[in-house]
Amino acid sequence: MKHLKKLLFGFILLSFSSVAIAGEGMWLPLLLKALNENEMKTMGMKMSVEDVYSVNKSSLKDAIVHFGGFCTSEIISPDGLLLTNHHCGYGQIQSHSSVENNLLKNGFWAKTKSDELENPGLTATFIDRIDDVSKQVLAGINNKMTDKERQSAIDLNLEVVKKTYNLKDYQELVIRPFYNGNQYFAFTTTIYRDVRLVGTPPESIGKFGSDTDNWVWPRHTGDFSLFRIYAGPDNLPADYSEANVPYKPKHFLPISLDGVEEDDFTLIFGFPGRTNQYLPGVAVEQTMNVLNPAKIKIRDTALKIIDKYMRADESVRIQYASKFARVANYWKKWIGENQGLKSTDALGRKRKFEAEFTQNNKTKTGRTLLSDFTSYYKNIEEVALTRDYYSEIAIRNIELLNMQRYIRRLVSTYEENGETGYDQYKGRLAGFFDNFYKNYRADIDQEVFTALVKLYVEDVKPEYVPEGFNALSGVDSYKNLSKLIYQNTAFTNKESVEALMALPAAEAVAKIKMDPAYKLGVQWENLYNEKVARPYSSKKMRIDSLQRIYMQSIIETFPKQKFYPDANSTMRVTYGQVKGYQPRDAVSYTPVTYLDGVIEKYVPDDYEFDVNDKLLELYNNKDYGQYADTNGKVPVCFIGSNHTTGGNSGSPAIDAHGNLIGLNFDRVWEGTMSDINYDPSICRNIMVDARYILFIVDKYAGATHLIDEMKLVHPKRKKK
């Protein structure tokens, strides 16, 4: 509580404060009143913070939905219509696509509700309320406790706190640490399980510019898709059923037709995933110079191989579209992050901050903290790097090893729980096999295997290399090894895996254990667990607890500043203004792009920059309906000074009055380091303009029945 009070008073921003470009911070909605309301109003907000978040009446928060646990989405109609990014719905859109019926390529618009497509496993989570439970969770905790003692005391307290909640049977409680474990907040959630696909533009709109334009401004992507939440007859969560009805929301966002101008107030409401704003300089240095370069190199290698196959074969393009985009996204982000950390002199800034910290903090802990960090990070570096190699190679990018892990779990289930357990788990695997093999090409994977295993053997210390790889040298030996494995394993195609599954359990298990992919998987993982994962986690635990003490000391050392908690996939509000920026000397970006820019970038038949005929026709005829700006052009995207990160995709951009003006989906290239070193002068989030979304739904797709469901408003006209 003491720390919270410190947070509540004092209104100086952490770095480089200036009202004109304020925007740093991802704030807890329930603390806006105490921490942010004044600033928000100064920046142009016309609502009260109770309109943004309230547990007593309906508020904006009731329209904000965690989409599948990885993106944000929002309700935009009284019938549960849900707006999110195209790239957030990508997996679902792809799963409904085939070469004959290619939703990625052609888009999809359900004509009636009965045409909307079911998405097994997809969830939509509402936040019913948020409570500060720090006092209860940290009761009895003191600094003399070891990390283990502290954790078990907290675990016990968490159980007690959970019991104080009278949850309905459809609710769940999530309690998360904030400020590295110095505070705890509880989120009461309701999770809907029937979420259907309603509409999506073709990729040439929804993913226009693809990976070339990803993380880049100026941008011209219509990155949106539409879903709908269905509920049981009581409006409560239900499993998919034809009898389900459209969910009736407590609140839905009206959509503004008036657009944005520079300096307009913007509020982003969503579920930012993870940031690391308070790391010590040594940690940033390690990320920048050791870990990021390794991950970039590995992904670069895998992506080049997959790209080659995708360009050559349309069916591979569909099969690998989602996987490729996922791997390419962070590959590019780390490249941008590293450049940005250098160009903003993140290390210099950290050092400066640390010098100030040391000067102002005269406690015993404060004196040793930073040197402890230095030795701890040095000490973890080797296993941290090997861990990244292993997870990028054996977990993320070699698909055979991924499949092998599932099959291995089947074996261990058999050994632990006998045939009953085996049969149960096998039943669950059936659907997974279908999905996996639908999008799998063993020849591509084999080439990835060859290249990545070579990287692993060459780059990590020999003690982390599994025996099976020991004798490898020269490209051919890697090729021969992968050939041997891929030709002899049963796991590269569905038929042979199904044949295995058809055998009696004992026989299948015996066969699986002889499989070369299985053997390699066991050997590599055991070695990894013993020599990397275990030491890593004990070293990381020490770092985490030091970080918790550092965070607390920062707050205590600078009592006049307000510090926002790092993102942790919980609901946050960030606010800023529509703003251009200057990325380099003599270069200046304005904040809005137009359809004219799509046409400028148009490259016929290109796989990233093609524009389809219908959109060209609308452009040529200037058939823009009510969606053009005052200059007669259709806006496509805009940028603002809102502090966002991964997970904020699909977040609504909301105007001063509470109307939807845009849909967040990305950040600008020069600002991709914002997760580690936010710089208000160049960090900008990118949003699709709401009018572009409406224009595509209405004029491009002719889905006027969807427009009719929405509430379109003119807040700026009303003002006059």
Residues that bind ligand ASP (CB under 6 A): 71, 644-649, 665-667
Q: How far is the CB of 223 from ligand ASP (least distance, A)?
A: 9
Of 272 and 280, CB closest to ligand ASP:
272
Handedness of CA 601, 602, 605, 610 (dihedral sign): positive
- DSSP assignment of 401-464 equals HHHHHHHHHHHHHHHHHHHHHHHHHHHHHHHHHHHHHHT--HHHHHHHHHHHHHHHHHHS-GGG
CB 562 within 8 A of CB 7: yes
Q: How far is the CB of 325 from ligand ASP (least distance, A)?
A: 10
Of 24 and 666, CB closest to ligand ARG:
666
Q: Which does 54 bind (CB under 5 to 8 A by kind): ligand ARG, ligand ASP, none?
A: none
Residue 345 per-residue DSSP state: T
Q: Which amino acid is at 317?
A: R
SS3 content of the chain, % helix, strand, coil (to 5): 50, 15, 35
Q: Which does 215 bind (CB under 5 to 8 A by kind): ligand ARG, ligand ASP, none?
A: ligand ARG
CA angle 685–687–693, rounded 5-degree value: 175
Task: Return the residue matching tokens 């807890």.
Answer: 28
Q: How many CA atoms lie within 13 A of 408 on its CB side?
A: 18
Looking at 176-257, list the stretches that DSSP marks H as alpha helix, in order from N- to C-terminal side: 203-206, 210-213
Per CB under 6 A, does 214 bind ligand ARG? yes
Q: How many CA atoms lie within 13 A of 185 on its CB side?
A: 22
Q: Which does 644 bind (CB under 5 to 8 A by kind): ligand ASP, ligand ARG, none?
A: ligand ASP
For residue 73, count CB atoms less than 10 angstroms from its CB and return exposed for 0-12, middle for 13-18, buried for 19 or more: buried
Of 44 and 597, CB closest to ligand ARG:
597
110: left (phi over 0), alpha (psi -120 to 50) or beta: beta
- DSSP assignment of 654-709 equals E-TTS-EEEEEEEE-GGGGGGGTS--TTT--EEEEEHHHHHHIIIIIT--HHHHHH
Q: How far is the CB of 433 from ligand ASP (least distance, A)?
A: 28
Q: Which does 645 bind (CB under 5 to 8 A by kind): ligand ASP, ligand ARG, none?
A: ligand ASP
3-state SS, residue 63? helix
Q: How far is the CB of 572 from ligand ARG (least distance, A)?
A: 17
Show the 3-state SS of 252-300.
CCCEECCCCCCCCEEEEEECCCCCCCCCCHHHHHHHHHHHHHHHHHHHH
Q: Which does 325 bind (CB under 5 to 8 A by kind): ligand ARG, ligand ASP, none?
A: ligand ARG
CB 201 within 8 A of CB 701: yes
**Is 649 among the catalytic positions?**
yes
Q: Which of 51, 211, 354, 372 binds ligand ARG (CB under 6 A)?
A: 211
Of 177 and 646, CB closest to ligand ASP:
646
Binding span for ligand ARG by CB under 6 A among 208-216, 293-301, 433-441, 581-589: 208-216
Of 638 and 665, CB closest to ligand ASP:
665
Q: How far is the CB of 324 from ligand ASP (least distance, A)?
A: 15
Q: Which does 647 bind (CB under 5 to 8 A by kind): ligand ARG, ligand ASP, none?
A: ligand ASP
Q: How many CA atoms lie within 13 A of 554 on its CB side?
A: 24
Q: How far is the CB of 6 from ligand ASP (least distance, A)?
A: 30
Q: How far is the CB of 668 from ligand ARG (least distance, A)?
A: 10
3-state SS, residue 336? helix
Tokens of 384: 């941290």
Distance from C-alpha of 152 to C-alpha of 10, rounded to nearest angstrom: 34
Q: Which of 666, 670, 675, 698 binds ligand ARG (CB under 6 A)?
A: 666
Binding span for ligand ARG by CB under 6 A among 56-64, 145-153, 203-211, 342-350: 203-211
Binding span for ligand ARG by CB under 6 A among 207-215, 228-236, 296-304, 383-391: 207-215
Q: Which of 215, 224, 389, 449 binds ligand ARG (CB under 6 A)?
A: 215
**φ, ψ for residue 434, nearest 5 deg:** -55, -50
Per CB under 6 A, does 275 bind ligand ARG? no
Q: How far is the CB of 665 from ligand ASP (least distance, A)?
A: 6
Q: How far is the CB of 640 from ligand ASP (least distance, A)?
A: 12
x-or-dash string of contact with ligand ARG, 451-490, rule CB under 6 A: ----------------------------------------
Which of 59, 73, 86, 87 is catalytic? The answer is 87
Q: How far is the CB of 88 from ligand ASP (least distance, A)?
A: 7
Per CB under 6 A, does 307 bind ligand ARG? no
Q: Which amino acid is at 166?
A: N
For residue 100, count CB atoms less than 10 angstroms from its CB and return exposed for 0-12, middle for 13-18, buried for 19 or more: exposed
Of 29 and 646, CB closest to ligand ARG:
646
Per CB under 6 A, does 569 bind ligand ARG? no
Of 76 and 663, CB closest to ligand ASP:
663
Of 26 and 543, CB closest to ligand ASP:
26
CB 138 within 8 A of CB 132: no
Which of 225, 256, 649, 674 is catalytic? The answer is 649
> Could you tell me the maximum CA-CA distance found in the chain, to the nearest angstrom?
78
Of 88 and 383, CB closest to ligand ASP:
88
Residues 322-341 that bind ligand ARG (CB under 6 A): 325, 328-329
Q: Which does 118 bind (CB under 5 to 8 A by kind): ligand ASP, ligand ARG, none?
A: none
Distance from C-alpha of 270 to C-alpha of 524, rounded to nearest angstrom: 39
Distance from C-alpha of 715 to C-alpha of 711, rounded to nearest angstrom: 12
CB 269 within 8 A of CB 659: no
Query: Residue of minimal CB distance from ligand ASP?
Result: 649
Which of 62, 131, 223, 666 is catalytic? The answer is 223
**Is 714 among the catalytic positions?**
no
Q: How far is the CB of 281 from ligand ARG (least distance, A)?
A: 26
- CA distances to 50, 657, 691 from 719, in Å: 21, 11, 19
Q: Which does 678 bind (CB under 5 to 8 A by kind): ligand ASP, ligand ARG, none?
A: none
Of 298 and 505, CB closest to ligand ARG:
298
Q: How far is the CB of 671 from ligand ASP (least distance, A)?
A: 9
Tokens of 417: 């729980």
Provide CB contacts within 8 A for 41, sequence distance 6+. Answer: none
Q: Which does 648 bind (CB under 5 to 8 A by kind): ligand ARG, ligand ASP, none?
A: ligand ASP
* Chain-centre distance for alpha carbon 234: 32
Per CB under 6 A, does 646 bind ligand ARG? yes
Of 552 and 648, CB closest to ligand ASP:
648
Residues 71-100 that bind ligand ARG (CB under 6 A): 87
Of 88 and 238, CB closest to ligand ASP:
88
Distance from C-alpha of 552 to C-alpha of 543, rounded to nearest angstrom: 14
Distance from C-alpha of 81 to C-alpha of 93, rounded to nearest angstrom: 17
Provide CB contacts within 8 A for 396, sequence distance 6+. Answer: 327, 402
Q: Which residues bind ligand ARG (CB under 6 A)?
A: 87, 207, 210-211, 214-215, 325, 328-329, 646, 649, 665-666
What residues are annotated to the active site? 87, 223, 649
